[in-house]
Amino acid sequence: MSSSLKKEKIKPAFKLWFEIGDDYVFGEGTYGLLDEIRRKKSISAAARATHMSYRHAWDLIKEVEKHLGEPVIKTQKGGKYGGGSEVTGAGLSLLTSYKKLKKKMANVCKL
């Protein structure tokens, strides 16, 4: 090892996601998208904020809803001046569960 290389402390890392059976349901990207929808009240604004296409954002939402069997967002048509999106109770529950578990995991992984 060269003396010019900076020594960094080893630290644990992990990725968290939720599954139903063996099927992926929800993870970091979907969490970020849903949280942005909660804050911005807009799927298109949330997609931009998370650097994904509007279509990909919708595909993620539909996939989560398919696995859960219930909606995670509620949309209202109206476009730029009257529409919007809200995260449902099921969506909020996912956000809360994911955030709590990630925090617990981070605390367990501290060296």
Domains of the chain from N-terminus onward: 23-106 (1.10.10.10)
Q: Given this model, what pLDDT does residue 2 score?
A: 52
pLDDT digits (tens, 9 = 90+) for 41-67: 999 999 999 999 999 999 999 999 999
* Residue 3 scores a pLDDT above 80: no
Does residue 26 surpass a pLDDT of 70?
Answer: yes
β-bridge mates for residue 18, sequence order: 26
| Cβ–Cβ under 8 Å, residues 35 and 95 | yes
Measure the N-to-C terminal CA separation of the chain; round to a whole number of Å. Answer: 24
The CA distance from 47 to 86, in Å, is 14
Q: Which two tokens stand for residue 20?
A: 């139903």
Strand (E) positions, the chain? 17-20, 23-27, 73-76, 84-87
Whether pTM exceeds 0.85:
no
